[in-house]
Amino acid sequence: MRGSLRELSSRRKPLTRRFAPTSPVRTGRGEQFPSLASELMSQTDIEIVVDDPTAPEDDSPSVIASGTIEIIVCLLLLALAITLGYDNWRTGASWDATGPEPGYFPFYLSVILGGGSLYGLIAALVSHRAARETFVTRAQARRVMAVFAPTLLFCLVTQVLGLYVASFLLIAGFMRLVGKIALWKSLLTAVVFTAIMFVTFDIAFDVIMPKGPLEAALGR
């Protein structure tokens, strides 16, 4: 994932992005002009090469199918719809003289949500296409968890030690452990970023963030 200014290596992997369409016109294009490109590119151009050594492999096995996730999501939404629907029924979901009672709108919305998720549930159960499609591969799941777990920890630490300490720990820790960036760079970035945030929000704009023992000790 680390960026570096480097010469063109011989490896020419196509760049894949989520938004890349599957149009046949696009794939492999641009490969036609590589030599021409280097000839025509003037000397002042800056070449930018960013590698991604921990990129998820393309042949990683699927952890779970899209169809399964769709079924789970629809079941959860159905449960939510029933819970909310029941609560609104209790609040009063009928139509009195001046129009609908407070629970009227949300109650029927719960019914619509329930109907939609029920339809989605059946559609997902019937569809064979979604059952085969990969929701996430093992390599992808590992990378997503590498961001999600630290974010979860960050929220916990924010609650206990305040946002600024948590922010320092998250940035330094993530850069060092996940990004494998040199320790001094990680620490420096974390300190500078946290300080900028503190100055911007706490001092300049007077937006108060959750604080912990460290800020208290420093008298802020």
Q: Which of residues 136-155 bind other proteins (CB under 8 A)?
A: 136, 140, 143-144, 146-148, 150-152, 154-155
Report which residue type is found at 8. L
Angstrom distance (rounded) from CA 173 to CA 181? 10
How many chain residues touch other proteins (CB under 8 A)? 108
Angstrom distance (rounded) from CA 139 to CA 143? 7
**Shortest separation between residue 97's beta carbon and other proteins, angstroms:** 6
Question: Scanning residues 40 to 69, which ones bind other proteins (CB under 8 A)?
Answer: 40-42, 44-52, 55-56, 66, 69
**Nearer to other proteins among residue 49 and residue 183 (C-beta):** 49
**Shortest separation between residue 217's beta carbon and other proteins, angstroms:** 21
- What phi, psi does 218 have (nearest 5°)? -85, -5
Check residue 213 for interaction with other proteins (CB under 8 A): no
- C-alpha radius of gyration, the chain, whole number: 26
Angstrom distance (rounded) from CA 8 to CA 111? 58
Check residue 181 for interaction with other proteins (CB under 8 A): yes
The angle at the Cα of 167, spanning 165 to 170, to the nearest 5 degrees, equals 110
Check residue 13 for interaction with other proteins (CB under 8 A): yes
Angstrom distance (rounded) from CA 58 to CA 66? 17
Angstrom distance (rounded) from CA 67 to CA 122? 11
- Of the residues 10, 18, 28, 59, which one makes contact with other proteins according to CB under 8 A: 18
Angstrom distance (rounded) from CA 145 to CA 136? 12
**Nearer to other proteins among residue 98 and residue 219 (C-beta):** 98
Angstrom distance (rounded) from CA 2 to CA 180? 9
**Shortest separation between residue 125's beta carbon and other proteins, angstroms:** 13
Check residue 215 for interaction with other proteins (CB under 8 A): no
Question: Scanning residues 73 to 132, which ones bind other proteins (CB under 8 A)?
Answer: 73, 77, 80, 84, 87-88, 91-92, 95-103, 105-106, 109-110, 112-113, 115-117, 119-120, 123
Check residue 218 for interaction with other proteins (CB under 8 A): no
